Structure 1
């Protein structure tokens, strides 16, 4: 099996906006990105759904891409989400990401009209051919409306050699093992569904793509270490403590919950961009409670089973 260019905890930064104007706050983005790297994330992945990529104007997308990669400055690998409805814009974004030093690009099939298998293949092939970067194929049927089952994923990778990684966000853990088996280990798989993080690592996932690292990076890193190096009961205990928080940020929507959490921590990133609205007060109160509980937890080997 080839060594993947990214592995471990892959942090997804939000895109900060100035509260009064709604414009990009690039200095805040630089700071938040640096905090993810300094906290120990093994890679950074800007411009996913957490980064509100779908709501950015072209010039804003370009600025976020350039600023994030400049802030990382090669300290850890970077995976830039280049997805767009159109092949032309996705290709343009891929080339820009390469020009600014991205390690890899991530491509989600987004649809308005239903796409045929031939259209999907054509789209991914065009984007892959646009750069020399490895491609992370992203399957997230909940947000894209397109589901790429393991058989389709492996078939695409065989036709398009640049596809070497797959981010699987359906929450179906069996797919991780299926992709690994069907590709005979040629594809590296990554988990994008926060609640199944531990199961995914145990099923062979190379990494966990998560916005949770914006708020509780140490917990994410500890879970990764425990999943890989055990003992199993420590990993189980970590996940059990972390799970209510993970479920809340997924259920209520990552951009609004992560930004609310940053506000709670005094690390403001502005509001989400309309049509998204800030997290309601009741949910914010629950999020504060969960963050306080995690912050107060000793998170030491002696405090958890297997320590």
Structure 2
């Protein structure tokens, strides 16, 4: 099972209806918008997907429904975020059975694992599955960093660990990874506000957040920079930055779901304990969204590049 680690892969939000059930109709509306924009993969059950609130059955439904809906146009990935190695191995097996083409994988949840434990955890899961794996390295939010030395061990023993979602928020880490591993470890930038910078430094692609509400702008930035049309990419990126900053915020799920409402690609329904934005916080996010929509740039025909 192969996957090309490049391009824009949205970390899609999970849609809920007014009685807190999966809203597959709205979910598929958003997926169709992503496909129409030309994304290169779909990532389910990440932070934006409210993974920690989803039941096992809901994760499996999302995987199966997405695989059936995209019909092979792009690969479907699902995130593994479990507390035990046993559960992570079981989740990987279910993902493979349900048709996922690859896994995104966080270190163990809740328990702050040490370096040796983290390597052992990733190794055990990788050896249990045929699926390619992208390690989600986000020490800012999840408090465990996968160092270059740890990647060295993982890459030597686990050929199906193929990529990293680079979310350390240190753009120079892109160069460190390339200098250390060359083409062996593909780099998918995972921080919206450092996306273009990371791509220009050599990252292969972008696991994106605001793409959920603005798919065409996101893909356009990637495609334009890829062919060296940097000024055009920069113009869109500079317009986009106030929106992208909504992603590096504890309320990123609520922020992005509110943006999806404004672009017709979602609802504000979140799963408790999350609640929709209110008060001055809501007013601030609405102002950013509305100001951005008023100055929304014209997008070049990036599909013809």
Query: TM-score of the superposition, structure 2-length normalised?
Result: 0.90
Measured against aligned partners, the alpha-carbon deviations of 1:89-134 in whole angstroms (never above 9, x if no partner) come to: 2112211221222221111003433323332122111211222111
2:253 maps to: 255
Listed as ranges, the matches of 1:171-182 within 5 Å are 171-182=169-180
Deviation of 1:298 after TM superposition, in Å, equals 3.5
Measured against aligned partners, the alpha-carbon deviations of 1:254-285 in whole angstroms (never above 9, x if no partner) come to: 21112111222344434211221212343444
Q: In 2, distance between residues paired with 1:7 and 1:94?
A: 22
Deviation of 1:23 after TM superposition, in Å, equals 1.9
Match of 1:154 among 123, 131, 152: 152
Match of 1:101 among 99, 102, 110: 99
More divergent stretch after superposition (233-242 vs 208-217): 233-242
Asked if the contact 1:7–1:42 (Cα under 8 Å) also holds between the matched residues in 2, the reply is: yes
Asked if the contact 1:242–1:294 (Cα under 8 Å) also holds between the matched residues in 2, the reply is: yes
Deviation of 1:180 after TM superposition, in Å, equals 1.5
1:72 maps to: 70
SS of alignment partner, residue 15 of structure 1: coil
Listed as ranges, the matches of 1:206-245 within 5 Å are 206-245=204-243
More divergent stretch after superposition (55-64 vs 26-35): 26-35
Asked if the contact 2:5–2:186 (Cα under 8 Å) also holds between the matched residues in 1, the reply is: no
Q: 1:86 to 1:249 in 2, by over 3 A?
A: same
Q: In 2, distance between residues paired with 1:241 and 1:232?
A: 14
Asked if the contact 2:119–2:150 (Cα under 8 Å) also holds between the matched residues in 1, the reply is: no
Superposition RMSD in Å: 2.1
Q: In 1, distance between residues paired with 2:229 and 2:248?
A: 27
Deviation of 1:160 after TM superposition, in Å, equals 1.6
1:274 aligns with 2:257: no
2:126 maps to: 128
Deviation of 1:139 after TM superposition, in Å, equals 0.4
Asked if the contact 2:239–2:297 (Cα under 8 Å) also holds between the matched residues in 1, the reply is: no
SS of alignment partner, residue 251 of structure 1: coil
More divergent stretch after superposition (167-176 vs 285-294): 285-294
Query: TM-score of the superposition, structure 1-length normalised?
Result: 0.90
Asked if the contact 1:6–1:43 (Cα under 8 Å) also holds between the matched residues in 2, the reply is: no
SS of alignment partner, residue 51 of structure 1: coil
Deviation of 1:252 after TM superposition, in Å, equals 4.9
Q: In 1, distance between residues paired with 2:65 and 2:159?
A: 29
Match of 1:170 among 161, 168, 171: 168
Q: Which runs of 5+ in 2 are unaligned?
A: none
More divergent stretch after superposition (4-13 vs 227-236): 227-236
SS of alignment partner, residue 65 of structure 1: helix
Q: Which runs of 5+ in 1 are unaligned?
A: 303-307
More divergent stretch after superposition (27-36 vs 53-62): 27-36
2:17 maps to: 18
Deviation of 1:81 after TM superposition, in Å, equals 0.8
Q: 1:267 to 1:114 in 2, by over 3 A?
A: closer
